Amino acid sequence: MKIKVIAPIISDIFNKEMLEEFSAYASSETKVAVANLSYGPASVESEYDEALCIPNFLEKAKEAEAEGYDGVISNCFGDPGVKPAREILDIPVIGPCEASLLITSSLAKSFSVVTVLPNVVTMIENISKTTGVSEKLASVRYVNIPVLEVHEKDRLKAALYEEMVKAIEQDHAHALVLGCTGFMGVAAELQAKLKDNGYDVPVIDPAFAATKMVETLVSMGVKQSRLTYMTPPSKQRVMN
Amino acid sequence: MKIKVIAPIISDIFNKEMLEEFSAYASSETKVAVANLSYGPASVESEYDEALCIPNFLEKAKEAEAEGYDGVISNCFGDPGVKPAREILDIPVIGPCEASLLITSSLAKSFSVVTVLPNVVTMIENISKTTGVSEKLASVRYVNIPVLEVHEKDRLKAALYEEMVKAIEQDHAHALVLGCTGFMGVAAELQAKLKDNGYDVPVIDPAFAATKMVETLVSMGVKQSRLTYMTPPSKQRVMN
Amino acid sequence: MKIKVIAPIISDIFNKEMLEEFSAYASSETKVAVANLSYGPASVESEYDEALCIPNFLEKAKEAEAEGYDGVISNCFGDPGVKPAREILDIPVIGPCEASLLITSSLAKSFSVVTVLPNVVTMIENISKTTGVSEKLASVRYVNIPVLEVHEKDRLKAALYEEMVKAIEQDHAHALVLGCTGFMGVAAELQAKLKDNGYDVPVIDPAFAATKMVETLVSMGVKQSRLTYMTPPSKQRVMN
Amino acid sequence: MKIKVIAPIISDIFNKEMLEEFSAYASSETKVAVANLSYGPASVESEYDEALCIPNFLEKAKEAEAEGYDGVISNCFGDPGVKPAREILDIPVIGPCEASLLITSSLAKSFSVVTVLPNVVTMIENISKTTGVSEKLASVRYVNIPVLEVHEKDRLKAALYEEMVKAIEQDHAHALVLGCTGFMGVAAELQAKLKDNGYDVPVIDPAFAATKMVETLVSMGVKQSRLTYMTPPSKQRVMN
Amino acid sequence: MKIKVIAPIISDIFNKEMLEEFSAYASSETKVAVANLSYGPASVESEYDEALCIPNFLEKAKEAEAEGYDGVISNCFGDPGVKPAREILDIPVIGPCEASLLITSSLAKSFSVVTVLPNVVTMIENISKTTGVSEKLASVRYVNIPVLEVHEKDRLKAALYEEMVKAIEQDHAHALVLGCTGFMGVAAELQAKLKDNGYDVPVIDPAFAATKMVETLVSMGVKQSRLTYMTPPSKQRVMN
Amino acid sequence: MKIKVIAPIISDIFNKEMLEEFSAYASSETKVAVANLSYGPASVESEYDEALCIPNFLEKAKEAEAEGYDGVISNCFGDPGVKPAREILDIPVIGPCEASLLITSSLAKSFSVVTVLPNVVTMIENISKTTGVSEKLASVRYVNIPVLEVHEKDRLKAALYEEMVKAIEQDHAHALVLGCTGFMGVAAELQAKLKDNGYDVPVIDPAFAATKMVETLVSMGVKQSRLTYMTPPSKQRVMN
Q: Kindly provide the ipTM of the predicted complex, given to two decimals.
A: 0.95
* CATH fold for the domain made of E98-207: Rossmann fold (3.40.50)
CATH of domain A97-207: 3.40.50.12500
Cβ contacts of D201 on chain E, cutoff 8 Å: 225-227
CB of C202 within 8 Å of a chain B CB? The answer is: yes
Round to whole Å and give the CA distance between B195 and D204. Answer: 38
pLDDT score at E147: 87
pLDDT at A41: 97
Asked if A76 and A181 count as a contact pair (C-beta separation under 8 A), the reply is yes
Q: Give residues 101 to 120 of C whose Cβ lies within 8 Å of B.
A: 102-103, 105-110
Q: Residue A34: which of A74, A62, A1 has the closest Cα?
A: A74
What is the CA A229 to chain-centroid distance, rounded?
20
Instruction: Report which of B66, B94, B50, B53 is spatially closest to residue B215, judged by C-alpha positions.
Output: B94
Supply φ then ψ for residue D140, to 5 degrees: -115, 115
Cα–Cα dist A106/C99, whole Å: 40
Q: Give the class (CATH, top level) of D98-206.
A: alpha beta
Q: Tell me how many degrees the CA angle B192-B195-B198 measures, rounded to the nearest 5.
A: 160
Give the span between the Cα atoms of B118 and A124, in whole angstroms: 26
Residue E234: how many CB atoms within 10 A of its CB? 8
Q: Which amino acid is at F126?
A: N
Tell me, which fold does domain B2-95+210-220 have in CATH?
Rossmann fold (3.40.50)
d(CA D163, CA D140): 10
Distances (CA, A) of E115 to D127, E76, F87: 30, 11, 19
Residues 6+ apart with CB under 8 A from C78: C44, C50, C95, C97, C120, C123, C124, C127
User: Comparing C-alpha atoms, which of B77, B69, B86 is closest to residue B35?
Assistant: B69
Same fold for the domain at D2-95+208-220 and the one at D98-206? yes
Query: Which of A86, A122, A235 is nearest residue B42 as measured by Cβ atoms?
Result: A235
F183-202: average pLDDT: 97
* DSSP state letter for B74: E
Chain F contact partners (≥3 CB pairs within 8 A): A, E
For residue B191, report the phi and psi dihedrals to the nearest 5 degrees: -60, -40
Which residues partner with F67 through β-bridges?
none
Q: What is the pLDDT along chain B (240 residues), one digit of tens a residue?
A: 999 999 999 999 899 999 999 999 999 989 999 999 999 999 999 999 999 999 999 999 999 999 999 999 999 999 999 999 999 999 999 999 999 999 999 999 999 999 999 999 999 999 999 898 999 999 999 999 998 898 899 999 999 999 999 999 999 999 999 999 999 999 999 999 999 999 999 999 999 999 999 999 999 999 999 999 999 999 999 988
CA F9 to chain centroid, in Å, comes to 13
C chain contacts of residue D130, beta-carbon cutoff 8 Å: 126, 129-130
Q: What does the H/E/C string look like for F97-147? A: HHHHHHHHCCCCCCEEEEECCHHHHHHHHHHHHHHCCHHHEEEEEECCCCH
DSSP run (H or E) holding B40:
strand B40-41
pLDDT for E189 equals 98
Nearest residue in chain F measured CA to CA from E40: F238
Please, what CATH class does the domain formed by F2-95+208-220 belong to?
alpha beta
Of D50, D55, D126, the CB nearest to C52: D55
φ, ψ dihedrals at A239, nearest 5°: -85, 155
Cβ(D116)–Cβ(D221) below 8 Å: no
Residue percentage of chain F with pLDDT more than 90: 94
Opening angle at CA F181, ends F178 and F184, nearest 5: 80
Chains in contact with A via at least 3 Cβ–Cβ pairs below 8 Å? B, F
Q: Which of the other chains make 3 or more beta carbon contacts under 8 angstroms with chain C?
A: B, D
Domain E2-95 sits in CATH at 3.40.50.12500
- Identify residue A156 by its one-letter amino acid code: L
Say how far apart CA F165 and CA F161 lie, in whole Å: 6
Q: Which residues pair with residue E33 across a beta bridge? A: E4
Q: Look at residue F118 in the predicted model and tell me its pLDDT.
A: 97
Helix (H) or strand (E) holding C94: strand C93-94
Pair type for strands D237-238 and C40-41:
antiparallel
C214 in contact with chain D, both atoms CB, cutoff 8 A: no
Q: A148-164: b or e for each residue (b if 16 or more CB lie within 10 Å)?
A: bebeeeeebbebbbebb
Say how far apart CA C137 and CA C100 lie, in whole Å: 12
Tell me the pLDDT tens digit for each residue of A74-95: 999 999 999 999 999 999 999 9
Q: Is C131 on the interface with B (CB under 8 A)?
A: yes
Residue D222 CA, chain-centre distance (Å), reads 20
In the chain, the amino acid numbered D68 is G
CA distance A8 to chain F (A): 20
Average of per-residue pLDDT across E32-52: 97
For residues A103 and F213, what is the distance between their CA atoms, to the nearest angstrom? Answer: 8
Q: Please state which of the ranges A228-232, D108-112, E144-148 shows the lowest mean pLDDT.
A: E144-148
Q: CA A15, CA A20: separation in Å to the nearest integer?
A: 9
Domain boundaries, chain F: 2-95+208-220, 98-207
Counting every residue written for chain D, the total comes to: 240
Interchain proximity F51–E148, CB inside 8 Å: no
Minimal CA separation from F214 to chain A, in Å = 10
Give the pLDDT of residue C8: 98
Q: How many CA atoms lie within 13 A of B113 on its CB side?
A: 32
Average pLDDT over residues A40-54: 97
Q: Nearest residue of B to residue C227 by CA position? A: B174
Q: Which residue positions in chain C have pLDDT lower than 50?
A: none
pLDDT band at F230 (very low <50, low <70, confident <90, very high): very high
Residue A94, strand partner residues: A73
Give pLDDT, residue B104. 98
Alpha-carbon gap, residue C182 to B234, rounded angstroms: 43
Q: In what order do the strands lie in the sheet with F111-115?
A: F137-142, F111-115, F176-178, F203-204
At B19 the pLDDT is 97
Contacts of D228 in chain E (CB under 8 A): 107-110, 174-175
By CA distance, what is E116's nearest residue in F?
Answer: F233
Confidence class for position F93, pLDDT limits 50, 70, 90: very high
- The pLDDT of residue C132: 87
Please provide the average confidence, as pLDDT, over all residues in chain F: 97
Would you tell me how many other CB atoms lie within 10 Å of the CB of residue B154? Answer: 7
Candidates F117, F122, F130; nearest CB to E228: F122
pLDDT for the residue E104:
98
In tens, the pLDDT along A107-141 reads 999 999 999 999 999 999 999 998 989 999 999 99
pLDDT at E148: 87
The residue type at F189: E
Q: Which residues of A touch B126 (CB under 8 A)?
A: 130
Among C28, C105, C203, beta carbon nearest to B131: C105
CB contact under 8 A, E88 and F48: yes
pLDDT tens column, E123-150: 999 999 989 899 999 999 999 999 889 8
